[in-house]
Structure 1
Amino acid sequence: MPKTIHGLVTDGAGAPLAGVAVTNGCDVITTDGGGSFSLVPAGHFIAITRPTGWTTDRWFVRIDAGATEETAITFVLEREEQSLPYQFMHITDTHIDAKRESEWSFDYGRLTQASQLKEFLADLPQLSPASRSVVITGDLVDHGSPDEFVELMDAVSDAPVSVNLVPGNHDHMHTGLKGLVSRNNYIINDGNPELYEAMVGPRWFSYDVAGLHVVVMDWHTHELGLDHTAQEEWLRNDLAAAGENTPYILCMHDQPGHSIMDWLPRKPLATFSGHWHTSRVVEIDGVLHVNSPTPFFAGLDYSPPMFREVVWDGTEITLNSRTMPARYLHNPEHVFDVDKATIAGYTAKPEQPLVRWRHQLAGAGHRAGVALADGMVLAGSQIEDQPAGSVEALDAGTGHRLWSARTASAVKTRPLKVGVVVVAAEVNGAVAGLDAATGERRWTTPSADPYRRFAWQSPVESEGIVVLGDQSDLRALHAATGEVLWRRTDLSPHHNIVTHSSVLILGRTVVVGFWPTPNAPIAVDLHTGESLWTVPPLKDDPWETARKLRVTGTAVFDGADDSILLPAIAGTVKLDRASGRVLWTADHEGGYSPSTPVVTPDGYVVTVTGRGIRMLNRETGALLWDVAVDGLAPFPMTAYRKKAHPVMAAPLYLESEESLLLPGLDGVIRRYRLDGTPEGEFRIGVPLAAPLVAADGGYLTVGVDGGVLSLDLPSGPTAENGASS
């Protein structure tokens, strides 16, 4: 039988400290009046909960669970000022990569260098002087290898503030990557946590700062069922020791869903997570859920690299979300002030000679464009410092705001006007039906699971039926009432990658593609939701199956030959409309291009994010021409990309002029002929990730700063009034 561990907790002068929580990973006890404790080992560690006002470099001790000799250990705490308000920093998914060039690393090199994290942490006193600690919520390293953990621990070892590490699924991948469907019907990789424990430390623990109890758990092994009962028992004991009136937050790699939230002994104030590589702030049943994107490369939701400053004032949690400065991305400095521009409304100064009018939305813009309907411009916005967004209606001629409607979470997609109703999708999966004349809410179709919905695609309508959703909750709504007409929940075990594919409706055929599952684009009946194409079955490894047709954006129809074009992760796919049969695929360098191909008489123009545009042959997909674009963008927005580049949005095809207008993140709109020849540039001065919409002889768009712009862009091979050729 293992022997008892005896221990002592003291201050730096050797005085005993009573009431300090100590755990063996299951049981939680507190030190007695003499600062002593005794525990029988239950795992590989004995750890303490660092109390409010105290810190230590040694908060856990490794033990041999099979030892037969009694052991004595001592924890020494030092005083630390933790006055209110207390600010800490949340970052996530650092993915330190010590391996070779990776399929996912489209800038050809290591996904994140440990030197980037080390430099960032070292600069915190200047970059974020009020932040007194950091929590990194998982996927600390990319492959879970020993070399990566060595680099990680070196990067955090000299940080000027305490850095608390949370394990993620990539941190348990040292035995390889194999996809599976978990006990909660979740697509994930398998894993082994032994190397993490050997090189980092405990995978679940707690600490206190300024009266706030911080709980860390290992979501990945909990989801796999390797230790969920042990973690749950520890948490019950930990919260009991903390006291029922002590507020707490929960930090884990993934946004906790029902499998976590439903069994918690009591609700946390907030949860902090990553995993999805997204920026998403929602409130569910009074709990704030903060899901943050990657700090050193762009997110899967096309968020720029970001970090969050979190402030605890003794009562509530508030956020200050910031775009990562270019120097920590190893990019050149830029001319835009973007610290908050992609997070909340920010009054930029566009080039006035080209601007008819500008309207500042309540929040920031994203990559979805505006909608133009019946003389009204509709736009959604994101407010990433709180669970909020907006939908606004503007007069197309003047930019005067007709109405504004706040939403419970960000609107990163294009609203849709259907008769007298404006339909908007929120990131929590809820859908709002707003009165087109006043903005008053007519109906709300609630999210099927706000923990697990990340609604990034725009609604599409036909015959008064609105279709939207993701691969595990594709649904059709009655536009006038919000009534659910049909819902498909069987297309994928789970939606675990944010989807950017809006549906394409052709008569009664609804076409859409996703990744990683289903493993091919699908077609369903508009009225019934029944499948029209045959979808290949999933193989044992859903990740391998998904590599065939990884659709990342919305399809377009080519009526000339009854075909469908879809953007894929690193290419373009052409399908036969009637059967869904693949006609051809064209590969592109780079990846994760979400922009819909453009059908022209000369061929298909596709956006190659991080490079430029190119035209493909209609019959074969062969390359007809390729135009690379250079420009100084303020940040990367293409998923997994580290290097900032201006090209992200699709160009607008001007049939009457036989030309293309390509907006850029460098604040420049470029004009090209249909043969790829440049015709001029318009310097707007605002980063543009959204496409252009032709309107009344001009053009509409929204910048990442949340400014809706009506532009006057002169035609012709040379540009005047603020443009350069």
Structure 2
Amino acid sequence: MITGAVKTLDGTPLPNVQVSNGLDVTGTDPDGRYALPDRPNQRFVFLTVPAGYVPADRFYIELQSQTSHDFTLTPHPPSATTDFAFVQITDLHLSTERRYLPADLAQDLAQIRREVGDQIHFIVASGDLTAGGKREEYEAYLQTLAGWSCYHAAGNHDDDADVQGQHYMDHLGPLYYSFDYGPVHFAVYDGEAHLRDGTEATPFAYVPTAQDTWLRADLAAQDPSRPVIIINHFPWGDEFYAQWRDFPVVATLSGHWHSTRRCADGDAIHYNTPSLGFGGIDQSPRAYRLCTWADGRLHSELCALVPQGLFPGISFRPDNTAGPVKHRAEDPTASLQLRWRTSTGGAIHKAPPLVADGRVFQAIKNEDQAAGNGLVALDAHDGTWQWTHATNDAIKNAPAHADGRLYTATVTGQIIALDAATGGRLWSRPLDYPTRRWVYSSPLIHAGRVYAGMSSHMVALDPLSGEEIWRRADLGPDDWLPSYPSPAARGDYLAVAFYTQPTSLAVLAAATGATVWRQRGDKPNYIYSTPVIGPHDTLYATSGGDLRAYHLTTGELLWQSPIALQRVQNRPALADGRLFVATGSGALCAFSAQDGAELWRWEVETRAPLFTPYARQGPTTLSAPTVASGRVYIAGADGYLYVLDAATGACIDQCDLGVPLAAQPTVDENRLWVGGSDGSIYALAIGN
């Protein structure tokens, strides 16, 4: 048996304190004493630090190296408060060699302290704390975080150097544990526990382990009215969450995918947060999440880490939305004059505006709360409000339009048809397992069918009723990583592309969904953009480090040209025999659509890589380009709209809107519309 006591510094026993050996859970008796079975292969005995206390030393004891199994706690009144706040950070990938260094972490922590330091009580770091789980990385991590109260969780990179997690445990203690703060119980979960006993599984998948026995016992030991927040590196779905619905879980906090998603799931909200140190895979800006417990519930603000002084007067919080703007550069230029600006009531990231039937339709999102998710319609001429259709979850990309109807998809896989004139819902159809869905693509309406979904659940639906015509569930195992590529079609052929899936590109029979041809999804063949179908049945796509041309019906590779994409998921534009491709290295390139020869290259001069995956420094992130009347229009994270000559690449003009731009501009005749990260639509007249 493992026996010991929990007491204060003056020797006062503390009853009803929860103690565990990693499997069994017990509470201390009136004398502060506990007894637990001595289980094999258990390294620690640890306690759930109760609200109102902090450990005098550590919350865990090494069973092999420490003879005393007594814990000492110190009163800490701030942790007994009814209301409190903390910051979630995740996916630091801290290294002593490259990309994200201790000095970078120190800089980010200093910015967090400046912005919210007077509000928060502690930090939660939800995994991938280190780049490779090396001892020197853990040492640098702890040294840089000195002075902060921080609760740590392990991610997949934290055991790269040691699958058993020894390096993590040597520096940070148990891989899973719990603690109380205020009225809330927090449980930290080890998402790779199965690897420690040699169980093989699909990478990053949930696999039940003995840890689940501990978590069930831990949650069962709580007062049934005490709300629970689970911290886990991996943003799993119902395969993990469903078993905990008997308990009052109100939120989960995760990372791993370097992306943003808020998923409402009954009484719980699942928050996924992007990387602290560099741009997200879904092109979210690097960020932290400010969490506040007040009024008996959790409030969230996703706060982008934008370098000070880049956009004076703008506070990037919450989500990608700018706060009050004290100054905005709206001076007209030779070719672009601002006509109106209208706030949508939500955030705009990469979803471009859709213009049809005299209206501008804009997808909006809110990664913190339900309000601010949905579709908004504005009058295209003057920006006056037409209607809003609210959804429970974010819409990440543009809707499709045909015959007076709109078709859109939420990130959780709800396919919705709306009346374009009124915003009234005509029908909706959920894809299976909404907690597992990460739908970043746009639907496509073609040949009397609506195509929507992801590799693990691609469907063709009747546009009038929403009834399923066909389904493919074999193009990928799950919605692994956010994938913006959307379907494209011509005649009897439907092209679908998926980022980081076993099938990266496939052409299907549009009527039946049968495979015509497919391309494997290994890393050199990753598809980063919606396919573009041009004349002579040529299909163009950005793949790996190349721009490629395929024959639509046979899959024959016609040509490929190298291009440094930097993982941005921008759709190429095709016009007048040229392909225009924006890279993540600040370049816009024009290629011959016939043979792939590079015709010209333009490079942005500013440095605002806010939306570039894995980038902390470097050139400005550019949007997907739009081509009209011999000009190329492209937006930048530096707040500028750029106008280039399509034939030569010469920059004709630039217009400063004063807010970061990630979405592709939309052009119709002599008017341009673009969504800003302040949540506003900007309409500009195009001059000569």
Q: Distance in 1 between matches of 2:583 and 2:349?
A: 18
Match of 1:573 in 2: 548
Q: 1:680 to 1:145 in 2, by over 3 A?
A: same
Match of 2:330 among 334, 348, 351: 351
TM-score for the superposition, normalised by structure 2: 0.92
Q: Distance in 2 between matches of 1:691 and 1:530?
A: 32
Does residue 652 of structure 1 match 2:626?
yes
* Contact 2:283–2:568 (8 Å) recurs in 1: no
Deviations 1:646-697 (A, max 9, x none): 342122222x3x2222222222222222212222222233322112222241
Q: Distance in 2 between matches of 1:63 and 1:446?
A: 49
Q: Distance in 2 between matches of 1:6 and 1:120?
A: 43
Report the AA paired with residue 542 of structure 2.
P
Deviations 1:109-131 (A, max 9, x none): x2322222234335654321111
Q: Distance in 2 between matches of 1:70 and 1:367?
A: 57
Q: 1:251 to 1:367 in 2, by over 3 A?
A: same
CA drift at 1:71: 4.5
* Contact 1:94–1:295 (8 Å) recurs in 2: yes
| 2:4 alignment partner, SS class | strand
| 1:219 alignment partner, SS class | coil
Does residue 142 of structure 1 match 2:131?
yes
Match of 1:46 in 2: 45
Match of 2:5 in 1: 8
Does residue 255 of structure 1 match 2:239?
no
Structure 1: 5+ residue stretches without partners: 100-109, 176-190, 537-544, 716-725
Q: Distance in 2 between matches of 1:15 and 1:485?
A: 70
Does residue 585 of structure 1 match 2:572?
no
How many residue pairs get aligned? The number is 667
Q: Distance in 1 between matches of 2:318 and 2:448?
A: 36
Deviations 1:173-228 (A, max 9, x none): 115xxxxxxxxxxxxxxx44233223322111000000100001012335885883
Match of 2:314 in 1: 337
Match of 1:695 among 662, 668, 683: 668
| 2:78 alignment partner, SS class | coil
| 1:81 alignment partner, SS class | helix
Does residue 209 of structure 1 match 2:181?
yes
Report the AA paired with residue 481 of structure 1.
S
Q: 1:115 to 1:529 in 2, by over 3 A?
A: same
Match of 2:99 in 1: 111
Match of 2:358 among 357, 367, 375: 375
Match of 2:614 in 1: 640
| 2:7 alignment partner, SS class | strand
Match of 2:204 in 1: none
* Contact 1:345–1:363 (8 Å) recurs in 2: no
CA drift at 1:422: 1.4
Does residue 452 of structure 1 match 2:425?
no
Does residue 302 of structure 1 match 2:283?
yes
| 1:521 alignment partner, SS class | strand
Q: CA RMSD in A?
A: 2.3
* Contact 1:342–1:366 (8 Å) recurs in 2: no
Match of 1:364 in 2: 347
Match of 1:173 among 142, 146, 160: 160
Q: 1:367 to 1:449 in 2, by over 3 A?
A: same
CA drift at 1:38: 2.5
Deviations 1:379-430 (A, max 9, x none): 1111222134021111111211111111101112112222232111111111
| 1:578 alignment partner, SS class | coil
Match of 2:530 in 1: 554
Q: Distance in 2 between matches of 1:57 and 1:277?
A: 35
Report the AA paired with residue 301 of structure 1.
D
Does residue 236 of structure 1 match 2:213?
no
Match of 1:153 among 142, 164, 167: 142
Q: Distance in 1 between matches of 2:193 and 2:478?
A: 18
| 2:219 alignment partner, SS class | helix
Q: Distance in 2 between matches of 1:240 and 1:413?
A: 41
Q: 1:122 to 1:366 in 2, by over 3 A?
A: closer
CA drift at 1:515: 2.6
Match of 1:121 among 109, 113, 117: 109
Q: 1:92 to 1:304 in 2, by over 3 A?
A: same
Q: Distance in 1 between matches of 2:416 and 2:126?
A: 32
CA drift at 1:632: 4.7
Match of 1:279 in 2: 260
Q: Distance in 2 between matches of 1:569 and 1:272?
A: 31
Q: 1:628 to 1:483 in 2, by over 3 A?
A: same
CA drift at 1:533: 0.6
Match of 2:483 in 1: 499
Report the AA paired with residue 514 of structure 1.
F
Match of 1:317 in 2: 298
Q: Distance in 1 between matches of 2:370 and 2:255?
A: 16
Does residue 195 of structure 1 match 2:178?
no
CA drift at 1:491: 0.9
* Contact 2:485–2:499 (8 Å) recurs in 1: no
Q: Distance in 2 between matches of 1:62 and 1:570?
A: 50
Q: 1:476 to 1:233 in 2, by over 3 A?
A: same
Report the AA paired with residue 575 of structure 2.
T
CA drift at 1:603: 3.0
Identity of paired residues, percent?
27
Report the AA paired with residue 145 of structure 1.
K
| 1:231 alignment partner, SS class | helix
Q: Distance in 1 between matches of 2:166 and 2:6?
A: 28
Structure 2: 5+ residue stretches without partners: 201-206
Report the AA paired with residue 287 of structure 1.
A
Match of 2:642 in 1: 670
Q: Distance in 1 between matches of 2:533 and 2:593?
A: 12
Q: 1:173 to 1:320 in 2, by over 3 A?
A: same
Report the AA paired with residue 637 of structure 1.
F
CA drift at 1:708: 0.9
| 1:171 alignment partner, SS class | helix
* Contact 2:311–2:659 (8 Å) recurs in 1: no
| 1:433 alignment partner, SS class | strand
* Contact 1:568–1:593 (8 Å) recurs in 2: no
Q: 1:622 to 1:123 in 2, by over 3 A?
A: closer
Q: Distance in 2 between matches of 1:700 and 1:333?
A: 23
Deviates more, 1:28-37 or 1:598-607: 598-607
CA drift at 1:89: 0.9
Deviations 1:685-717 (A, max 9, x none): 3322112222241111111111111101322xx
